[in-house]
């Protein structure tokens, strides 16, 4: 059970709800905070003061006064008009993360909503009802207006719900019990960075795992290509004190220990005087990515503690317009992390190409097949990795520089944070596929070094991959093998087994 307090939630809480289906409850202090802020909005209503979002229209209509008897209607109309997305539905985990973060925002007591509104979102999460949220619609301007509006529409018994088979149902058909919105509440449900923050937090968890797996596959490739362990000695990284670089080098160094393959040329100073950059500089690239990840983690952590609604209700009774919903911090972080992840994949693909090239692989057979000519081995698997690297380079172009003015020039600079975090998810998914190709290629190279034995971590990787890929031999239908390798990289199982064998990896 995840309890949402007035001070917020943790990244682990979000992962538990979005991906682990944990149930949610509201803490008493959150309910008290919401009641207190709602009492301020009620007082404004009684006094008849003009306040944005309470007694006025929205965006370019901010100067239009709304009569008291029409303010509830205004909130419902706002939700309907802003639920204007189009395209395929966003994944269930993204929508659940977005709803949880909206509850978190309301529970901080700066939005002026009744506790019943937050409870209604909690009820959707606990009933496993996922609104149908189209992929296009947010500019990261007033946060994720359209995606959040599609969630809010379900609360009032309208819109669509994502069925278990991927089709869509009407909200009422899914058993939703509609609520009536009061003044300010419609706006409070849609103004915020919850969609992009949810995607960034999940991307951070995925990137942390994949960057460690990139060290694993790099170590396996270095072993398969009879590379040197010396570039990963700790004293060589203390003289360039980037923390991510040191962590990555320590991982690779640890994974190469106790390897008969490495011992076979350890003292041969003619062999491998200098390995290629894709081998020797693996910690410098993956380490820089780790440091970028640390930056993104810091930004996401700050946002998770932030009030991003507009307007905000202050404890002293003021209701002030803010720009806190602008997604620039998240957009920049997501774009930066996408660049880093794309480069981790790019250097991995260069190691794959080297493993397959008979001129550079140090006596491995062409394309890692013992019968080249009749058989093509892993030739086309490298094509696949190269194509994905090219796609990641396109996706690494920053979305956050693509502002377009909207709302009659009221919203004349937008963050494109939703687009930045969406494409970051794709880059990381692609990185997983590239690492799967490297895992298969490196294992095949190690198998071809027999009778020499790899490191304990290498033996474990070979044994695991052999279960679905077999050993060197005639060509096979490769797509299912690559899918299994990809699943192995994505899961935490192989990493956990290696850590039990070699010790914890950073």
For residues 475 and 181, give the distance between their C-alpha atoms in angstroms, rounded to a whole number. 63
For residues 318 and 49, give the distance between their C-alpha atoms in angstroms, rounded to a whole number. 11
> Do 443 and 465 form a contact (C-beta atoms < 8 A)?
yes
Report the half-sphere exposure of 401 (CA within 13 A, side-chain side).
5
For residues 328 and 124, give the distance between their C-alpha atoms in angstroms, rounded to a whole number. 29
Taking residue 376's Cβ as centre, other Cβ atoms within 10 Å add up to 14
Helix (H), strand (E), coil (C) string for 161-193: EECCCCCEEECHHHCCCCCCCCCCHHHHHHCEC
Q: Which of 337, 333, 324 is nearest to 143 (CA)?
A: 324
Label the pairing between strands 160-162 and 168-170.
antiparallel
**457 DSSP 8-state letter:** H
Q: Which two tokens stand for residue 440?
A: 């298969």
**Residue keyed to tokens 């819109």:** 159
**Any idea which residues carry the catalytic annotation?**
52
For residues 357 and 352, give the distance between their C-alpha atoms in angstroms, rounded to a whole number. 9
> Do 141 and 190 form a contact (C-beta atoms < 8 A)?
no
> Do 124 and 176 form a contact (C-beta atoms < 8 A)?
yes
For residues 46 and 48, give the distance between their C-alpha atoms in angstroms, rounded to a whole number. 6
């Amino acid at each position: 059970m995840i309890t949402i307090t007035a001070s917020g939630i943790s990244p682990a809480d979000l992962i538990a709800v979005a991906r682990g289906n944990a149930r949610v409850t509201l803490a008493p202090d959150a309910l008290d905070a919401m009641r207190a802020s709602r009492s301020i909005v009620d007082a404004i209503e009684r006094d008849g003061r003009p306040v944005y979002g309470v007694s006025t229209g929205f965006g370019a209509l901010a100067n239009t006064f709304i009569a008291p008897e029409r303010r509830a209607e205004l909130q419902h109309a706002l939700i309907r008009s802003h639920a204007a997305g189009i395209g395929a539905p966003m994944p269930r985990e993204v929508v659940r993360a977005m709803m949880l973060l909206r509850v978190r925002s309301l529970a901080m007591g700066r939005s002026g909503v009744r506790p019943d509104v937050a409870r209604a979102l909690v009820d959707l999460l606990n009933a496993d009802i996922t609104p149908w949220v189209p992929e296009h619609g947010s500019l990261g301007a007033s946060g994720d207006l359209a995606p959040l509006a599609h969630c809010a529409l379900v609360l009032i018994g309208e819109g669509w719900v994502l069925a278990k088979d991927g089709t869509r149902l009407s909200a009422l058909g899914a058993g939703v019990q509609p609520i009536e919105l009061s003044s300010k509440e419609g706006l409070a449900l849609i103004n915020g960075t919850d969609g992009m923050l949810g995607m960034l937090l999940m991307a951070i968890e995925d990137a942390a795992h994949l960057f460690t797996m990139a060290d694993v596959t790099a170590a396996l490739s270095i072993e398969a290509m009879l590379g040197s362990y010396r570039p990963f000695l700790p004293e060589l990284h203390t003289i360039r004190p980037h923390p991510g670089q040191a962590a990555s080098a320590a991982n690779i160094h640890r994974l190469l220990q106790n390897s008969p393959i490495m011992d076979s040329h350890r003292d041969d100073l003619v062999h491998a005087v200098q390995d290629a950059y894709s081998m020797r500089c693996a910690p410098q690239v993956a380490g820089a990515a780790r440091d970028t990840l640390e930056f993104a983690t810091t930004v996401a952590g700050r946002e998770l503690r932030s009030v991003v609604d507009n307007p905000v209700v202050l404890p002293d009774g003021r209701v002030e317009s803010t720009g806190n919903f602008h997604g620039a911090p998240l957009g920049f972080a997501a774009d930066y992390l996408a660049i880093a992840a794309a480069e981790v994949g790019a250097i991995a693909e260069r190691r794959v190409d080297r493993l397959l090239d008979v001129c550079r692989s140090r006596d491995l057979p062409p394309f890692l097949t013992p019968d080249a000519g009749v058989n093509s081995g892993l030739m086309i698997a490298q094509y696949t990795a190269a194509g994905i690297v090219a796609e990641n380079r396109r996706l690494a172009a920053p979305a956050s520089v693509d502002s377009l003015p909207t709302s009659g020039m009221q919203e004349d600079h937008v963050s494109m944070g939703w687009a930045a975090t969406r494409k970051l998810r794709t880059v990381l998914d692609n990185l997983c596929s590239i690492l799967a190709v490297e895992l298969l290629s490196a294992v095949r190279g190690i198998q071809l070094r027999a009778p020499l034995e790899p490191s304990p971590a290498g033996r474990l990787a070979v044994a695991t991959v052999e279960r679905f890929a077999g050993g060197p031999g005639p060509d096979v239908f490769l797509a299912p093998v690559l899918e299994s390798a990809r699943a192995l990289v994505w899961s935490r199982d192989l990493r956990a087994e290696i850590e039990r064998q070699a010790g914890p990896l950073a």
